[in-house]
Structure 1
Amino acid sequence: MSTLEIRDLHVSVETESGPKEILRGVDLDISQNETHAIMGPNGSGKSTLAYSLAGHPKYKVTSGTAKLDGEDLLSLSVDERARAGLFLAMQYPVEVPGVTVSNFLRSAKTAIDGEAPNLRHWVKDMKTAMERLKVDPVFAERNVNEGFSGGEKKRHEILQMELLQPKFGILDETDSGLDVDALKVVSEGVNRVRENSDIGIMLITHYTRILRYITPDHVHVFVAGRVAEEGGPELADRLESEGYDRYVQAAAAKA
C-alpha cells in the first residue's frame, strides 16, 4: 500500500518585506484508501501545503521531508511528482486557450502512463466519466477552463482525477464556489473514484458542508502553519458548532 509521509515540513514564501514562513513544522501520514480532511481558517497554511507538495515554485521548502512510497518527493520536478502518483485539483484552475479538454486529458494520460491509451477505450471511458459528472458532451471540445463556470471547472478537475487514476489526490477547496447541486455531483465523483481505486485523498476545506457527502477517515485542524488537533469525523462535527476561535487564540498565545 502506498503512503505519503510528511515530516516537520517548513515552507516560506517571498514577500515585499522578505521571506515569510507559512508552514511551521507539519507532520502528516496518508495511506491509500484513506481520506484525510484538512480544515482550518484562512491563512492557516492549508493551500500552502497542497502547492508545496505539488512543486509550485512560489513556495520554498526550508526544512523537513515529504516522501511518496519512500521516494523524496521534494527532489522531483512537477511532472515527475505527477508520474509518481500525485494529483492536485486546484482551487482556482487556470485557463488554457487553444487546448481542448479531450486533447488535454489524453495528453495528460499519455504523459502519466508513458504510452497513449487505446483510442477506442479512452473515448468510451471519457464519455462515461463525463456522463457521471453530468457534463455536456460538447464540453470535450471546449478549451480547457476557458469560459467555464465555477462548477464546470471543479467538475473538470474531478474528471481528470477519475481518468488519470493517481495514488494520491489533493483537493484544494474543491467545494468553494459550488452551489448545492454542483457540490453533490462533485462529491459523488470523488466518492466514485474512492470506491473504484485505492486512492488516498487529502481534502482541504474551510467548511464541513462537503463532509456531509464525503466522509473522512481522519480530520486535521490547521492553525498558524501547524496541525493543532487531529481526530475522526466527529472532530469535523465539533468544528461545525464551535468554529476555530479556540485554536486561533491558543496559537496567538504561543506566538
Structure 2
Amino acid sequence: MDAAPGTPGAEPRHTVATVALPEDVSANGHRIDQLLELNHRFDFILAVVMLGWLGLMLWRFRGARKVAPDGGTRRSRALVMVTALTIFGVVDGTMFARSLGYLDDVLWNFEVPEGNPATVRLEVNARQWAWEVRYAGEDGRFNTADDVVTWSDVRVPVGVPVWVQLASTDVVHGFSLPNFRVKLDAIPGRVNQTWFQAAREGTWEVACYEHCGTSHYKMRGTLTVMTPEAYATWLREASRQAAHVYDSADTAAHWGWEWRPKP
C-alpha cells in the first residue's frame, strides 16, 4: 500500500514522464510527475486525431479543383460544438480536478507539517545572490542568540516534513528545489510558505528561477538530506557555536522573524 503524504519513509514513485525530468527524491513529487504524464498523453492523443483527420481530408479531396465555402448544416455545427466541449471537459476538467487534489492534499495541506512534532522549520531570506537559511537553535525560537544561519546551505533530515517560510530583502527571487518539485516566489515585504519531505538521503541543488540581476546565475545552493541522527547532531553543535559567537550589534544578521502561523 502506498504511503500517505507526509508519512516518514515514503518512497518516490516514478513514472515514464520522469525520464526527462530531474530525479524525484521527495515523498510527494510523483503527484506532479503524474500530472505531467497525463497532460502529455492527452496532447499525444489529440495530435494523432487532428493530424489523422487532416491527412484523411487531404486524401479525400485530393482531386478537387475548386474550393467553395460551406458553413455546414445546423446539425453538423452542433456536432462540432458538442465534440469540442466534450474534449475540453474531459482534458481540462481532468487536469483541473487532479491539480486541485494535489493542492488540497499536499501543497496547501499545512496540517501535515503542523501536526508532526518532528517537522523542521526553516526561515529563508533571499538576497542578491544567495540564500540565507535560519534554523531555530536549542531554545526552539527564531531570531535568538542560538539561531543557526547558513549561506546557500540547506540541511534537513530524511523522512520528516520541512516547513519553509520565505522572504526577500531586495528583488523577487524564485526558490526552486527541482528534485523535490518545489517552486516558491520570494517577495520583498511578504512571507510565503511551502513544505516538502525528502524520501532519501543525498545532496541536490537549490536554484533561483527568477532573473534577479546580473549575477543571477550564481544564485545556487545545496540541499543536503541527512539521517535524523546526523541532522540533530549537526544542529546541536551549530547552535552552540552560534550562541558562542553571537553579536547583538550585528544588526544585518538579525533578519529573522517570529514564526508565522499557517496561511
Do both proteins adopt the same fold according to a TM-score greater than 0.5, normalized to the shorter chain? Answer: no
TM-score of the pair, normalised by structure 1: 0.24
Q: Which has the larger radius of gyration?
A: 2
TM-score of the pair, normalised by structure 2: 0.24
**Bigger strand fraction:** 1
